[in-house]
Structures are given as C-alpha cells and as structure tokens.
Structure 1
C-alpha cells in the first residue's frame, strides 16, 4: 500500500520530506558548526577504545545523553533547514540519531557515502516501521538482512525509500517508530520527556547495530537471519 499524500500549510509534503532526508544525511555525515560529522566522531571514539565494539557502546551512550538534553537538541535544530512542519527540537533529535546510526555504520566497516548505506541509516530512525516502508516500496526482506536487500536495488528505488522515510518523519514525527517518543505522551514534563527521548535514541541504536553487522574486510558482509549471523 502506497504512502498517503499529505500537505502542510497548503503545500505538498513529499518535497519537504526529501529535503529533510537530504539535510539530515549531509549534516550528520559531514558535520555542521560545532557538531562533528559521523566519521570524525567515530574515529575519535575508536582511538580511545580497546576495540570497535567498545567504541560503539561509548558512541551510543554519548548520543543518548545528547538526546536527553532538550536545550542542546533544540539548538541543533537551528543548524538544519527544516520543513515548517518539523519543530527545531524534533529536527535536533533526528540529527543526533542520524549521526549515531551513520557512525555505527562507519565503525562496522560500511561506506556512509554509498546510497544503500544512507538509505539504511534513514530506515533505522523508524525502528520497526522501517520494514513497512520497505514493503510499501516493493522490497521483500525475507531471509536477507536490510543491507543485503538494499544492495540489490537500483538507485531510483533507494530514492523512493528515502522519500517514504522522510514522509514518515515530517508527518508523524516518528509516532510509528521509536524516535522522539515524548510526542506520544504530550503531557509529560520536560525532564521526563527528555528521558523518553534518550530511551528512543537507545532503541534506534539497537536497530542500527542489527542493520549494520560488522564487516570482515576480506569477505562480503554477513547475512542476518532471525538475529543470527550467517556467513556467505
């Protein structure tokens, strides 16, 4: 079933959705202002860690703390050229989570500049709803991992997937995924809301670690079947 068409302020949402995805990926990977890019922060962390997995755990803890800091999150949103329907605080959360996922992908051996990896990064933001987006785009995962499925897709399909992810982010603020969970409980106080956002960020990290299993540089990336690694 295709994503429904929607509008914001009398204008169609699809172009806003595509714009948001582009902004998030560019800012998260390259960095913006004092906000370091995914590759830079990943390399800094791995340099201080005993191994890559320890660096990833430090990376996750850092981003969970950032997500729980509402003032910092809102200031980050100011670095994004956001669609009017996305508040700065929400945009800041998206940016934090996108960088975290991109950094995990980089540390696990993936090229964050490749189109399929960038699409996978955005799908992580939706959590379990990412599978529905793939299904709506005509992609059947089956026994393949998300990355294995995305590698087989032409560029035009990856573009459509990115648009669908952006549509979800713009119109639903992650209500059907795991990011910005405070939106589901609008009456909570700032401290509780920030805590919920931190929990949401940690949940996204779980999806990112599953989506990007460690790559053996000498062999193809493993396929993940029902949470088990299967070497090819």
Structure 2
C-alpha cells in the first residue's frame, strides 16, 4: 500500500481545494458591512490626520475658519481648494500605502475615500457639528453616496437640504444609525459594482472624471455639495430669509 503516494495525492488535492476557495473569494464582491468597515478605517485616519502628510479634521477646519468671516465662506473655500489640490497625482500618491484597510483595496482607492471623508468631516466641523460622534460620522457616510443621499436618508428623520440642530442629531437612535450605515454600504457597493470597482480580487480606478490616479472629480464634487447642503447652507439661507422677510426658492 503506497501510503506516501496517497498522502501526497491528498495534500495536492487539499492544496487545489484551498486555491480554488481563494480564487473564488477573490471574485466575491464586498459585503455592505465590509464597505462600512473600510469607511471606518479611512474616517479614523481622516479625523486624526497623517503626520507629515495631512492635517487632522480639527486643524483643517480651524485653518479655514481663521481665514474667512463666516462658516459658509470657509466651507466653500475648503471644498474648492480640496478639489483643486486633489486633482494633482502627487497628493494621492503621497497617501498611498499609509492607510491599511481590513480588506485588499488598492492604495489609490483608499486615498480617494480618505480625502472625501476628510473633506466632509471638516465641512461638518465648520458647521458646528462634532465629527467624532456616531451620529455625525454616519451622516458623513451618507454624503458619500452622492446622488443617492436623499434615498439613503429617507425615513430616518434627516432630509438633505435641511440642516438640523446639533441637539436633534444627538437624538438619532443607534438603530437608525445602523440602518443608514447599511444603506450606505449597499449603495456604495452598487455604485462601484456597476464599473467593477469594489471587488476583493480586482479593482480599477474610479470612473468619471478620473484625475490623479483614481481621483473622481465629478463624484467628489457631488459629495461636497451634499456636505454643504446638510451641514452649512440651509441654516444660512433660512437666516437670510428671516432677516429680509422674504421667501426664497426651494
């Protein structure tokens, strides 16, 4: 009885089985929770900043608030400058390899997510919100869904274009935050999946206005407008309307 031969055959068979499973896993799309896990890592890095590479959200917001007379002007200047800055390949390349994610994601994609989350969180900070809270963090994630943000927030008591008071945000329940995060994860996977972006085995640069090795200028601009509407503009518009006693357009 050739036990050695049988053992070798068994080992080869097991090795092939493991390889098949690994290859199959590479082709699997990320789950909604994995997408949120990726956002969590990038968001934490964005809040704290990366030494010698980029400022923390607090430092970034303080820098702009010290240069402009109102939160609106500071936020819009921040957004404009971030969009211009991030169209240079050097900036995103400098972030590559620094952000370690829970799944295999190319550096250019993690860099884009980092930049977008950092920008939104800084806008929220300028609007008087605390980005470190679970509630604000979830709303920042919602802005990341681009044109789908209204649908993501539908039924949660939060509406795009209606800046709600900090006290009201703090009252958003954990269950509601979980539902929003699930919707965010699903929406991002659906959006990315249309062009084969989010995949455990193969990822390509974001589509649509691609500049600087994966930076999506068009999508990021939409994301920025979401942040301005949710955290900045509506309150200012309402204040101006009350002062002048006029009714503005929706």
Q: TM-score if structure 1 supplies the norm length?
A: 0.70
Point out the structure with the larger strand share.
1
Q: Which residue of 2 aligns with 1:23?
A: 41
| Secondary structure class of the residue paired with 2:210 | helix
* 1:1-232 aligned within 5 A: 9=27, 13-33=31-51, 34-84=53-103, 86-135=105-154, 139=156, 141=158, 145=162, 147=164, 151-170=170-189, 172-173=191-192, 183-185=206-208, 193-194=210-211, 197-213=216-232
Comparing 145-154 with 116-125, greater Cα deviation is found at: 145-154
Question: Quick one: distance in 2 between partners of 1:147 and 1:86?
Answer: 35
Q: Which has the larger radius of gyration?
A: 2
Offset of 1:129 from its aligned partner? 1.0
Offset of 1:211 from its aligned partner? 0.7
Q: Which residue of 1 aligns with 2:8?
A: none
| Secondary structure class of the residue paired with 2:38 | helix
Question: Quick one: distance in 2 between partners of 1:204 and 1:163?
Answer: 18
Query: In structure 2, do the counterparts of structure 1 residues 83 and 175 end up closer, same or farther at CA, with 3 Å as the change threshold?
Result: farther
Structure 1's unaligned 5+ residue stretches are 1-6, 177-181, 186-191, 217-227
| RMSD (Å), alpha carbons | 3.5
CA contact (8 A) 1:38 1:99 kept: yes
| Secondary structure class of the residue paired with 2:66 | helix
The Cα offsets for residues 43-62 of structure 1, whole Å up to 9 and x where unpaired, read as 01221223332221221122
Query: In structure 2, do the counterparts of structure 1 residues 229 and 95 end up closer, same or farther at CA, with 3 Å as the change threshold?
Result: farther
Point out the structure with the larger helix share.
2
Query: In structure 2, do the counterparts of structure 1 residues 50 and 153 end up closer, same or farther at CA, with 3 Å as the change threshold?
Result: closer
CA contact (8 A) 1:24 1:94 kept: yes
Higher relative contact order (CA 8 A, sep 6+): 2
Question: Quick one: distance in 2 between partners of 1:140 and 1:21?
Answer: 23
Q: TM-score if structure 2 supplies the norm length?
A: 0.65
Query: In structure 2, do the counterparts of structure 1 residues 164 and 54 end up closer, same or farther at CA, with 3 Å as the change threshold?
Result: same
